[in-house]
Structure 1
């Protein structure tokens, strides 16, 4: 048999094998889902746009004044089920404009003045049924197990990066293990690699009588300058009613050390830090249903360094926030937001001066806001909505005000219209 005949036979054999394989794994169900998010924030500060969020990401304020002028997100999911019992999900999430604060006109050449204007945030495949009915494996880039405060908007728990993992059922509860990596220098191929990694272990949905408990443990490591830095993070979360009343709360305590010092279970390219750094984080947030028309959202979040954190000694931050919401009718909701934030600590090291002075100091922040939400559903989380608002932010002195982006004096009015939809 000549070479051409050998190749033809090999190709025919391969095609035949492929046909047999395809026949054994016929697709039973195949479908697409499209979800998305949009947040457009028209903020006016002394007649201009502004790049500051007035300390919102650092638990200083809790108003509507996030800085993304036009954030758009799309998630496409392809779900397939096969004749042999295996199922597969392919998830792709893209995002544009997150963190951009400039107002662009539609001149045909809209861009964002950073390196993360249009980005792929998630792209992963999850396969189930291969290792058992309740077991799946996944690989790719994703946000794993995220949780955020409802008024601060801060994600205190997540693993964001490239990785792989396994999830199953143990004792009727969700259990999983994953390995996730993130590069702080991603995008700069000439930079020294300082790869962070986290081994995530979690066990969710344990019955606690008054609700369910979620347990997270993360073992972190960073390789840089030929050395290994490590750290550990752990959290316990209670999902329950609104302190015994009608509604819900999520309550968590977390510990982090070393490269996991940022609230312990908040892993991504922002992780890292000195081995001696430690943090304790507590948060409790939720919504109380007072009546058919009146609801109340609240959040208390607290983080402190156990001696040393984020380059500061004795750093402590906390915020207390509340947002009452009244349903005027099916399509209009009246809101008010009040928050009190406090930060204290001794500024040292490379971050010297990021607190008000080089001495032990306390900075306080008050945020008061009124808003009217026009929406298709006037429930607390009713979306889509268009929400005009007025925020008033005041710091205890000009130095504290300057830390959160107030340029003149110690207070600031923000006028805005926030448009938001989830679908």
Structure 2
């Protein structure tokens, strides 16, 4: 059959209809009559269309090569208990990677998928490189966070997001001791929004106890924290963060508790720099610094604690900076099975910038601990009261000699002195009242 231009047009339109092209998201202008090229495509954008999609990779690594009399040792010399503030953490090869997939859609909805993996946190052995490094399960490769957060949903508002999964929620640590005093570490879900221009949120986070996980208990004593927080309240000289947690525990009679904290984020006490000052109270299952929730929570329903920490970094001059910390932690009656427990530490770390790639540091700390009666936690009965001094000198070889410049390779010598041998033994000193640790600490975050 002889084809003319009208027959060709009919065939083209028929083909488009049968293929569904005329109802597709993209309209195409056809000009088969004149034989000219088709007009440019005009994209129709749906609200669910992805307009931005990408991956971010962040991380942290801490490699500590340290020796005591030619031997690696499995102790942090009391650092987690606010007794020292040196660089002598026991993790020989700790690595963290945080991978985030961020997606944005045409209708304003966005989502984050976050995975945090970790290896070696708390491992003190110096491993070689055989096919399998170890037969035990201490500090193996683990997934510490995996959650999804979605924001910008039209029925919740552009300032509101929801999340679900396993995460560290709202962590905060003291400056030199490095201990996280605030966090909710576990599996849960939450919502976060803006109220009065400030960040407000509510979350429920659950964590099984370490004993349940390792023993496979049939009646799990699962802990659950109900978090309420309100952050960023302007007070003129800084901002305040408020946290409140109500904690329950399954299959434990009358075992619940609550904790609260107030945090001030400000300059370095009126000087050039920054500081964070916080006070927290905890009772019952929240006895461990009130807002420090995880598998370690729980305990005597009547136990109470008060916690205070203040520290930061001041810029003294072009070349001098200093970090400092004052922390106090005490039971109001009985805490961790100890009567009248009191701990405090005062620490400072002045830092001198020699040039852009070399920084010299000195760290000094004084710590005190006391309990009513010695012998708790397997301690010597003579260690009811202790005073510990930690002095350290270090040189940081780095790509940026700022106080927080990383990566860096930092040789150090750390000297620890306790006031008696019983107290020294309690923090891992084998012989006598003192110990000298020589090491090289390598650190990077990105």
Q: 2:270 aligns with which of 244, 259, 264?
A: 244
2:136 & 2:75 partners in 1: Cα distance?
15
Contact 1:111 1:117 in 2 (8 A): no
Contact 1:137 1:164 in 2 (8 A): yes
How much does 1:186 deviate?
A: 2.5
Determine the structure 2 residue equivalent to 1:138. Answer: 163
Q: 2:405 aligns with which of 379, 382, 388?
A: 382
Determine the structure 2 residue equivalent to 1:304. Answer: 330
Residue 279, structure 1, aligned to residue 302, structure 2: no
2:346 & 2:177 partners in 1: Cα distance?
10
Determine the structure 2 residue equivalent to 1:352. Answer: 376
2:195 & 2:134 partners in 1: Cα distance?
48
How much does 1:106 deviate?
A: 1.4
Distance 1:51 1:222, change over 3 A: same
Distance 1:305 1:407, change over 3 A: same
Give the number of equivalent residue pairs. 400
1:354 & 1:283 partners in 2: Cα distance?
27
Determine the structure 2 residue equivalent to 1:266. Answer: 292
1:286 & 1:178 partners in 2: Cα distance?
29
Q: Deviations over 1:271-292 (max 9, x none)?
A: 1110110000000010010001
Residue 166, structure 1, aligned to residue 191, structure 2: yes
Residue 125, structure 1, aligned to residue 161, structure 2: no
2:386 & 2:135 partners in 1: Cα distance?
33
Q: Specify every segment of 5 or more residues in structure 2 that has no aligned partner in the other structure, as ranges.
A: 1-24, 26-44
Q: 1:186 aligns with which of 213, 217, 229?
A: 213
DSSP-derived class of the 1:169 partner = strand
RMSD: 1.7
Determine the structure 1 residue equivalent to 2:361. Answer: 335
Give me the TM-score of the superposition, normalised by structure 2. Answer: 0.87
Determine the structure 2 residue equivalent to 1:214. Answer: 241
Distance 1:114 1:364, change over 3 A: farther
Contact 1:311 1:347 in 2 (8 A): no
Determine the structure 1 residue equivalent to 2:232. Answer: 205
How much does 1:187 deviate?
A: 4.9
Determine the structure 2 residue equivalent to 1:414. Answer: 437
Determine the structure 2 residue equivalent to 1:155. Answer: 180
How much does 1:28 deviate?
A: 1.0
Residue 235, structure 1, aligned to residue 261, structure 2: yes
How much does 1:81 deviate?
A: 0.6
Determine the structure 2 residue equivalent to 1:94. Answer: 117
Q: Specify every segment of 5 or more residues in structure 1 that has no aligned partner in the other structure, as ranges.
A: 1-18
Question: Structure 1 segments of 4 or more deviating over 6 A?
Answer: none
How much does 1:355 deviate?
A: 4.6
How much does 1:109 deviate?
A: 1.6
Contact 1:347 1:353 in 2 (8 A): no
DSSP-derived class of the 1:389 partner = strand
How much does 1:410 deviate?
A: 0.6
Equivalent residue runs for 1:316-327 within 5 Å: 316-327=342-353
How much does 1:260 deviate?
A: 0.3
Determine the structure 2 residue equivalent to 1:54. Answer: 77
Contact 2:287 2:305 in 1 (8 A): yes
